[in-house]
Chains A and B, each alone.
Chain A
Amino acid sequence: MPTNVIMPQMGESIFEGTITKWMKRLGDRVERDEALFEISTDKVDSEIPAPVSGVLSELRFQVGETVEINTVVAIIDDEDWAVGTTNSVNLDQQVANEGKASQLQHSKSELSKNQVAQRSSPLVKRMAREEKVDLSDVEGTGLGGRITKQDMLDYLSERNKIVEVARPLVQPVQKESVSFITSSGDDEVVPMSAMRKTIADHMIASRRTSAHVTTVFEVNMTPIVALRKQLADEFIRKEGFKLSFMPFFIKGVVDSLKKFPVMNASLKGNNIIYRKEINIGIAVALEEGLIVPVIQGVHEIGFMSLARAAVDLTDRARQKTLSPDEVQGGTFTITNPGVFGSLLGTPIINQPQVAILCVGAITKRPVVINDAVVIRSMAYLSLTFDHRLIDGALADYFMSSIKNKLEGWNDSIC
């Protein structure tokens, strides 16, 4: 029996992936769990293993094509299919395969439509015929994604609504957005990457969702700067990597989140969801965009584990070797544009979280302490929070807690 190989979903908000390499050719024998192809998504690159053993009998997409998740990208057949091709793929076979491939290309669109149609019922098919509905437009909520009667009824009532309001509302908006943009012949037009599109969508979606407000605190980092300097050599010898400021900020945030659990919550409809776990996302800049690996279960781990996890995740984010579950489940995010020289920022909340901490550059500044002007290592910390859930005073209590933790640092480190 032929088995479909599908484009897997590699993360919770990932809807497509680009095939970057086929490890096997048409007609090749593959073993179960053997790497079959490589994909690149906006969050991770990954090798996809074969779901079953058999012979690769269909390749539906070529390298470079971007495919929606759950699309069938290849078919693995039982060995019976490949009678006569036992060990080596001879020339005849290759020719035959090429013919087959072009045929498949041809029938691709028909196939996907038919597949959708199969997952319904006689009733749904009749309704579709009578109401002139293309079943591939209807989302199935039944068992195995089957389109049920209720799905059809929902679709039809929605369609009737859209027919009523669509013309006055939707059309002008589309026209306007198009008319913003003019391009002359000299301009270079480049399509956005999948990652760029996702970031764009997420940013706009977050702006539409949350009531963004930013508060700024100034923190005296002098004790931590001194501590870090003092431990620097020993640390690198013991651990093999440089102690950065990030684990200090994470620790400050985690201790404060424990005191103010609402900062670690999400809003769903009219309900507030308080997360038991604290999972801290760290924004990592990449050449072509941005990714937020997540340190899981931070509420349970000590400073050293936290420091190691932070280094490991940021390194692997830059190498694009994160696994899907390492970019999911964040409950609070820290971004650190200070490393690029930024003094303070007003970041956009990473949905569905309710706040994001922005760490500015640590610089020596003259400050007044006990009526004397002295030199201290200072940093601006800013917090963007969702005013739907969090009021200014609460956000400032939270920030004060972080500030106090950092300025009066007395945790043991090693």
Chain B
Amino acid sequence: MSATTYVEAIRQGLWEEMVRDPNVFVLGEDVGVYGGAFKVTRGFLDRFGEERVVDTPLSESAIVGASIGAALVGMRPVAEMQFADFISCAFDQITNFAAKCRYRWGASVPLVIRGPSGGGIHGGPFHSQNPEMHFVHTPGLKVVAPSTAYDAKGLIKSAIRDEDPVIYFEHKYLYRRIKEELPNDEFLVPIGKADIKRKGKDVSLITYGAMVHNALEAAKVLAQDGVDLEVVDLRTLVPLDKATVLESVKKTNKVILLHEDVRTGGFAGELAAIIAEETFEYLDGPVMRITAPDTPVPFSPPLEEFFLPKTSDIIRVAKQLAIY
């Protein structure tokens, strides 16, 4: 069996769910004839037909609005944002409508919105963002951000089967850069369950998305310097797997929070507060954040390189914390 890329894992998950359940359909800009900007839905039109693979006008608000309507009448739409950056055009539909249906009427909106997100691909300020926090902040939405092919496939399937709206952030940088062998048998990855990608005893690093790979790379270097890094991959931001996070903090007593999103109002701040509130007496050092700075994602490659958190940042902060 050959290794499966991250983007192929998403494609397989979508395909399997569409085969399994005729109510599942995809819609978005160029998802049909063109097969999607990133080719996630390549071949879908031929297999599932134009009623289940819908090319839409260039209007994110319309895509999400139509999806919510379809979901309310029993369909299971998977809406693609060509780039997660454009999801803000559908902000009202998502946050004021999809997110509130369960609360107002007990109505189920089994909607998945896929958002290709993240930088490192020289995409500039409108094609590189990590807009997860708008939705983390909105009660009524689930937010996932897989880091591996296995998690990407398992989570897209779980998201489609979920009875409520799930925002699925897939990291563009990982699409074709990582691959792994996936089981032949069907599998799911539960929403709301973090995964310890590397066990360690000295410092816990909590992250998600593409940064998981920087963390694992840093862990290898740090191991040679006698710092044993534990890498916790959240996989799901909402609902947060607090138990796994806090258990790791209680074990190592030192914690770094890492994300590619900008600093202020980023998920690290929320995690830091939870850790301080619930494990204060387990902390043996300050809770440290490693994030992008509070600026738009730069287009210039050297500036983008500077902007993104790097493996060397992790190594530096982990070493400081280890001797604290």
Contacts and interface: CB of A to CB of B under 8 A. Distances in A.
Interface residues of B, number: 9
B284 A121 contact: yes
Contacts of A149: 253, 284
A123 to B, nearest CB: 4
Contacts of A148: 284, 324
A142 B283 contact: no
A123 B324 contact: no
A146 interface: yes
A123 B284 contact: yes
Contacts of A121: 253, 283-285
Interface of A, helix, strand, loop or mixed by DSSP:
helix
A168 interface: no
B253 A142 contact: no
Interface string A158-169: 000000000000
Contacts of B324: 142-143, 146, 148
A343 to B, nearest CB: 56
Interface in A134-150: 142-143, 146, 148-149
Contacts of B283: 121-123
Interface residues of A, number: 11
A104 B284 CA distance: 32
Contacts of B186: none
Given A121-B283, A125-B281, 19 more contacts: A121-B253, A121-B284, A121-B285, A122-B280, A122-B281, A122-B282, A122-B283, A122-B284, A123-B253, A123-B281, A123-B284, A124-B284, A126-B281, A142-B323, A142-B324, A143-B324, A146-B324, A149-B253, A149-B284
24 contacts: A121-B253, A121-B283, A121-B284, A121-B285, A122-B280, A122-B281, A122-B282, A122-B284, A123-B253, A123-B281, A123-B282, A123-B283, A123-B284, A125-B281, A126-B282, A142-B323, A142-B324, A143-B323, A143-B324, A146-B324, A148-B284, A148-B324, A149-B253, A149-B284
Nearest to B276: A122
B152 to A, nearest CB: 36
Interface of A: 121-126, 142-143, 146, 148-149
Interface of B, helix, strand, loop or mixed by DSSP:
loop
A322 to B, nearest CB: 36
Contacts of B280: 122
Interface in B253-301: 253, 280-285
A195 B281 CA distance: 45
Nearest to A148: B284
A126 B281 CA distance: 6
A206 B281 CA distance: 45
A132 to B, nearest CB: 16
Contacts of A143: 323-324
Interface string B12-23: 000000000000
Contacts of A142: 323-324
A142 B322 CA distance: 9
A285 to B, nearest CB: 45
B202 to A, nearest CB: 10
Contacts of A122: 280-284
A12 B285 CA distance: 31
A302 B259 CA distance: 64
Nearest to A124: B284
B204 to A, nearest CB: 13
A403 B323 CA distance: 53
Contacts of B285: 121
B251 to A, nearest CB: 11
Contacts of B253: 121, 123, 149
Nearest to A143: B324
A142 B324 CA distance: 5
